[in-house]
Structure formats: C-alpha cells, structure tokens
Amino acid sequence: GDKVKQSPSALSLQEGTNSALRCNFSIAATTVQWFLQNPRGSLINLFYLVPGTKENGRLKSAFDSKESYSTLHIRDAQLEDSGTYFCAAEAPNTNKVVFGTGTRLQVLP
Amino acid sequence: GGIITQTPKFLIGQEGQKLTLKCQQNFNHDTMYWYRQDSGKGLRLIYYSITENDLQKGDLSEGYDASREKKSSFSLTVTSAQKNEMAVFLCASSIRDWGGEQYFGPGTRLTVL
C-alpha cells in the first residue's frame, strides 16, 4: 500500500480563506519535505522538517513523528498558491525519500 | 545558492531508441537522484547516487541506466524507449550522503512517437 498518503487529493479554495493539507506515513519517517509543483512543473521547496513546526509567511507546517503525520496550513490563500502540493518522507537508514501522490489545490478568485 | 540544470528540456524519441538525459548541479551536493513523474501522478525514484561513480537502484530502475560521471553531473539513459514512455524526468540533489533536503531541476519532458 501507499507508504505516504496525502489528503485531500484535490481541493478548491476561495481566495482569502484558510486550509490544511495532511500527510500520513506508514514508515518511520525521520524528516519531511513539502513541495509545491507549479503549473509549469517546477518543484518549489516549501519546508524541510525534523519533528516540530516551521512557519514561513502564510504557510505553516508541523511534523509529528510519533503520530506519523505532517500538516501544511495555508492562511489567506492567494491565486498563486494554486498547484500540486507534495510531501516526501525520509525513512531511517536509507538515502531515499518516499513521495506522496499529491494534493491538487485550486484557489478561486 | 545553487542551481540544477537539465538538458534537454524536451526530448522526442522513436520507439526502441536509446535516449540520454543529463543533469548538472552546482550546489556541490553529494547525492543526486532521478525521478519519473507521469501525468497527474507523484514522483517515483529511478536511480540515485551518493558519490561520484556510485549507483543505487530505485523502485523503477528496470529499462534505465544511469551514470555519475563526476560529483556535479548525473546522466540517465532510457535503454529502449517504449510507447508508454511519456513522462517528465526530474533530477534532484541533496547535501549529504544520507538523504537530506532535496532540490529539483526543471525537468525533461519525454515524448515517444
């Protein structure tokens, strides 16, 4: 089964509203990365987390390794936030990260 | 800061053809990766390399070869292009030989006629 599950798979938001994306892991993740893939296909680094929280502007992310999940909160959504959000978990004692299948976000005017 | 460049941006091949994709990074990162992304899907690891001349298979290595010629460059070869090989290939690098934060290139979009 999927080792990294993202929810929801797709989401539409009105501009100016808030939302949360979630990543659940069935592996013992040690770190988590969040990316935004923009409509041109480029992957933009948003956060790289060990257990804890980070904040950057309107984005905030948390990683709870004991409960095996991570969240990405978007505050005051803007049109340019549209795209596909991926989380990726690094498993211990490997050089690999496992990607989730993504959450497709559309921000509506 | 640094940058990852991938060449070519678009690659059109014939079924059965051998095709090579190239990736360069100037971060001075140890580890480099090749991923494949099919339309509307997530990323799947093809090969990675933790140092020059090292190669490690990912989940999707069958049908591909890779070469880490030097620390800054990592090539991927599609050994025999198939009709269903229409995807974006993404190269990434990370600072240490045990994973770490990954940075991605812009991708090579492959179409097989």
Q: What is the pLDDT of residue A11?
A: 96
Q: Cβ A43–B104 below 8 Å, yes or no? A: yes
Q: Note whether A63 and A13 are within 8 A (CB).
A: no
Q: Cβ A86–B43 below 8 Å, yes or no? A: yes
Other CB atoms within 10 Å distance of the CB of residue A64: 15
Q: Where are the domains of chain A?
A: 4-108
Q: Domain B4-112 has what CATH class?
A: mainly beta
Q: What is the pLDDT of residue B52?
A: 92
B88 neighbourhood in chain A, CB within 8 Å = 41
Structure tokens at A18: 């808030």
Mean pLDDT value of segment A49-54:
95
DSSP annotation of A43? E
- How far apart CA B21 and CA B75 sit, in angstroms, is 6
Q: What is the pLDDT of residue A48?
A: 94
Q: Where are the domains of chain B?
A: 4-112
Q: What is the pLDDT of residues B65-84, one digit of tens each?
A: 999 999 999 999 999 999 87
Opening angle at CA A10, ends A5 and A14, nearest 5: 135
B90 neighbourhood in chain A, CB within 8 Å = 43
Q: What is the pLDDT of residue B98?
A: 54
Topology (CATH) of A4-108:
Immunoglobulin-like (2.60.40)
Alpha helices in chain A (DSSP H): none
The answer to whether residue A33 neighbours chain B at the CB level (below 8 Å) is yes
The answer to whether residue B2 neighbours chain A at the CB level (below 8 Å) is no
pLDDT tier at A94, thresholds 50, 70, 90: confident
The answer to whether residue B61 neighbours chain A at the CB level (below 8 Å) is no
CA distances from A23 to A70, A88, A100, B94 (A): 5, 9, 8, 22
Mean pLDDT value of segment A81-109:
90
Instruction: Pick A96's closest partner by Cβ from B45, B88, B109.
Output: B45
pLDDT tier at B4, thresholds 50, 70, 90: very high
Q: Cβ A41–B50 below 8 Å, yes or no? A: no
- Mean pLDDT across chain A, nearest whole number? 93
Residue B110 has pLDDT above 90, yes or no: yes
pLDDT tier at A65, thresholds 50, 70, 90: very high
Q: Cβ A96–B48 below 8 Å, yes or no? A: yes
Q: Which residues share a beta bridge with B10?
A: B109
Mean pLDDT value of segment B39-57:
91
Identify the residue among A46, A97, A106 best suited for mutation to test binding to B, counting B beta carbons within 10 A and taking the highest.
A97
- Mean pLDDT across chain B, nearest whole number? 92
Residue B97 has pLDDT above 70, yes or no: no
Q: Which residues share a beta bridge with A59?
A: A56, A74
